[in-house]
Amino acid sequence: MIVVILIKKIIALFLIMSMGILLVKCRILKESDSRVISALSIHLIVPCVILAAFQVNFTEEIGKGLLLALAAAVIINVGLILFVSAVGNVFRMDAVEKVSIIYSNAGNLVIPLVSAMLGAEWVIYASAFLAVQMTLIWSHGKVTLCGEKKPDLKKIFLNNNMIAIFAGILLLLTGIHFPEPVQDAVDTVGSMVGPLAMLVTGMLIAETDFARVLSRGRIWFVTLLRLVICPLLILLFLKYSGMAAWADGGKNILLITLIACITPSASTITQMAQIYGRDADYASAINVLTTLLCIITMPIMTALYQM
């Protein structure tokens, strides 16, 4: 049943992506306009989703679930960094390829998918994964892309999404809840995260030269690692590690972690590649190709986990 819901939600998101393509092809918007939408999503919409996720009554069960989600996220992300570094050294991968394999597009996709599959009350566990990934992407990811020796701690912990996570945890622990009009506003804004992310992807696809993209043989190897090999390794770990017994609803909590890991490559990598002088076109091509193919791989991985 969960797989069917996932497939329906992915199809709906891809239809929204098609609307983004049409907006650019019909010259209503330009591909460059997607940057404004991306900024809106990163700085406003995702923080609203995170804050809304923590507006629940704190219980021992939720506390154990968050610790499970956090532990799984740390183990998987550190494991991915070590695995991809080893594979990257063997196959002489560049920085863009490595970080595109390691970091998923969880920030944009996991929350709407979890809401549709399990319900809004489970989104809080996705926030644990996002906290770990955001910390690493602005430390390890940035260092890898731009060659810095020291990560910028200010950018890591003063990132809007990290601030939202810290604020959400504080609200959760103190039992403070938003007044109904504020909660309604936060929920309404947060509900736009999935649609806007797919509109942006569609707008980028509209200007993509697929003949050039697909001619780069290495992109298929990177895509195989991002969507098949790494997800299979993660799936085996989550399914057979015994971690699901650490908390009530542990299987669903680890399913959320799996969903976060099997999404396409992070769109943030393209933005970072532009900023730090790396091959942004290649990063964008990896993001586009993995986004198109994930409609096949994500339901398969989810079904294997559910078996």
Total-model pTM: 0.86
3-state secondary structure the chain: CHHHHHHHHHHHHHHHHHHHHHHHHCCCCCHHHHHHHHHHHHHHHHHHHHHHHCCCCCCHHHHHHHHHHHHHHHHHHHHHHHHHHHHHHHHCCCHHHHHHHHCECHHHHHHHHHHHHCCHHHHHHHHHHHHHHHHHHHHHHHHHHHCCCCCCHHHHHCCHHHHHHHHHHHHHHHCCCCCHHHHHHHHHHHCCHHHHHHHHHHHHHHCCCHHHHHCCCHHHHHHHHHHHHHHHHHHHHHHHCCHHHHCCCHHHHHHHHHHHHCCCECHHHHHHHHHCCCCHHHHHHHHHHHHHHHHHHHHHHHHHHHC
Average pLDDT in the chain: 88
Domains of the chain (ranges plus CATH)?
2-306 (1.20.1530.20)
Q: What is the pLDDT of residue 204?
A: 80
Q: What is the pLDDT of residue 234?
A: 98
Q: What is the pLDDT of residue 149?
A: 65
Task: Note the pLDDT tens digit of each residue in 2-25.
Answer: 888 888 888 888 899 899 999 999
Q: What is the pLDDT of residue 49?
A: 83
Task: Note the pLDDT tens digit of each residue in 84-96.
Answer: 999 999 999 999 9
Q: What is the pLDDT of residue 148?
A: 65
Q: What is the pLDDT of residue 215?
A: 77
Q: What is the pLDDT of residue 96?
A: 92
Residues of the chain where predicted confidence (pLDDT) is lower than 70? 1, 148-149, 151
